[in-house]
Structure 1
């Protein structure tokens, strides 16, 4: 048994249970023959042919794909949530080196997908070609036109919509877009509805979040912090749970994914809860800066440390990561000194 399979075996019970709770009622059957049929290329009636517009034109899929390559970050999770195991998955610089997050391990069936290295920067197109895909999903990625032409020469390639910005994509639309391309539009809609219901239930079960302010930050390699826009992937879930953007930050994003916060401007981060991406990696440096440690949110115990796995998951909201992140967010927020007062 390989180390990856061993990890999947250990996590299968806990994460499969979590995923089952999250999407209960979303589909007739999330396992067994339905999954086998989907993986074999079966699709919903009248699903093909389908043409989907995107930022570089349109892509037509004429029949159910059987070898799907996922190039977009989190796109593999969407496929796995639909019962489809891709032949290739993207690798990001984070908590895993095989492109499969722990939240997705129980959903992988059959052979392990090929890992596409450096998927968020400069991946090797030849690696995609070698996987021999009949459909390439590159929705959540910053694909330029030259790369698109190379990918579409290999197989029909799906990108995000023309009116959307790289890395700032609504997870609901990503899910339904991918579901349509693989011939499972109704199932994709059910996945979205199930996760939206889970978010709504979590918000209703935690009315103390309403009206509170929260921000999510990361320490960049240049030493400065970046605070994420409420429309960015990392912060979308905070907004959906009822949190508001700190007033001092609200007008600074200007349609940008994030805004740089240097030490002299740390006071812009004053809020009820400050969620810090990969905080342990930055803790020593941050706690050596009085400008940070003297913030009210820090002194009151409102800083929430996100470990590498949660930090990865929150950066790519989708039907598999959201249940995992919700559980972590709610537990960590409610365990803070601020929440216990």
Structure 2
């Protein structure tokens, strides 16, 4: 299967490693069945019947106007051919029962299929064909999107600029990220709600959000040590110019942990005050002041863990000194939370959360 997700400006993501996770477990397949039950989709390649099936699943009335950061977009009829930019948007559309005709290619976090476990599971459940893919290595691929003749272009989660929006709008109606959101900062709930509006599937979107939020609540109850545990979700790299960085509340990673009852480090909160950004470089000279119960980071291989512990500055980070560093080395684990969607979150609860919960349970003698 072709790759399914795009590149985006992400100074904290190195090149993908060779680590890959096995196919999604039965629990994820069940979740995919829930969000897709009753949603009819035709072939994603746009053959006869594809658009009719997508339009038939819409319950909202058209024409409709959708508001976003770049103004208002009027969609005359229920979209039959959907194209997406960036991450997340194709996951959301698929969760709502509309497999896009085209999506950007994945260059980080792919499984052995060049896809993701959660999308593969939902695609299989839908019975639709895989979308066409196009590279976004150098930004949005306007020519490839135009060639698909989409009825709507989804960018509810993206780093779309005004110039991008204007160029895409010459191809088809465009849904940008929500008013007030930062680039790549749209929550999975807001992405689902906004795309639900664009597709005329608000009721389905509400059902999907409620189901995934219940799964999060159930997971939090399973791991009571998470409640009140403070965290830094960032990157530690002894070989980088910026050895320490942290994600702010505008990013989906802290949003994920906070939804489970955990608390963003006060040190990160202070550093982020007054800034509109999803991440912050932090001074390694003040590593000892970056207090939290645990620190979640990403690396290409487990060897980086020892390098961090041996670094004269990074080793002074309280969570590192206390043995509470959670180092993710599977890019798909990173992607499932950073590009959070109603398809990826259930996967992350099963595959990412246990290590974080274990660190939380041992932090501070819990």
TM-score (norm 2): 0.80
- Counterpart of 2:157 (choices 124, 140, 144) is 140
Deviations 1:279-328 (A, max 9, x none): 62744653441222343422332111222111111111110111111223
Q: Deviations over 1:318-341 (max 9, x none)?
A: 101111112233311233482686
2:352 alignment partner, SS class: helix
Q: Which moved more, 1:55-64 or 1:72-81?
A: 55-64
2:132 to 114, 127, 145: 114
Quick check: 40-49 or 255-264, which moved more? 40-49
Are the counterparts in 2 of residues 116 and 123 from structure 1 also a CA contact under 8 Å? no
Q: Distance in 1 between matches of 2:65 and 2:225?
A: 45
Residue in 2 that maps onto 1:338:
362
Quote the offset at 1:15 in angstroms: 4.2
Alignment-derived partner of residue 155 in structure 1: 172
Shift of 1:229: 1.0
Inter-partner Cα distance in structure 2 for 1:55 and 1:21: 31
Structure 2: which 5+ runs fail to align?
4-21, 43-49
Deviations 1:261-294 (A, max 9, x none): 2321222333211111236274465344122234
CA distances 1:204-261 after superposition (whole Å, capped 9, x unpaired): 2322111211111124753422101133112111111111122222211124322212
Aligned twin of 1:44: 58
The farther-off stretch of 329-338 and 15-24 is 15-24
1:179-194 to structure 2, matched below 5 A, reads 179-194=196-211
Give the distance between the partners of 2:241 and 2:147, measured in 1 at CA: 37
SS at structure 1 position matched to 2:263:
coil
* Distance verdict in 2 for CA 1:95–1:78, change over 3 Å: same
Task: Report the Cα distance in structure 2 between the residues aligned to 1:321 and 1:305, rounded to whole angstroms.
Answer: 19
2: distance between equivalents of 1:303 and 1:170?
A: 25
TM-score, normalised relative to structure 1: 0.86
Uncovered stretches (5+) of structure 1, i.e. residues with no partner: 5-9
| 1:292 match | 314
- Displacement of 1:69 in angstroms is 0.3
State yes or no: 1:234 paired with 2:282: no
Q: 1:214 to 1:33 in 2, by over 3 A?
A: closer
Worse-matched range after superposition: 167-176 or 329-338: 329-338
Q: How many angstroms apart in 2 are the aligned matches of 1:152 and 1:195?
A: 32
The CA distance in 1 between the partners of 2:160 and 2:119, in whole Å, is: 24
| 2:225 alignment partner in structure 1 | 208
Q: Identify the residue that residue 118 of structure 2 maps to in structure 1.
A: 103
> Using the alignment, how far apart are the partners of 1:92 and 1:224 within structure 2?
26
Asked whether 1:272 is paired with 2:317, we answer no
Are positions 1:17 and 2:34 aligned together?
A: no
Whole-angstrom distance in 2 between the partners of 1:334 and 1:247: 20
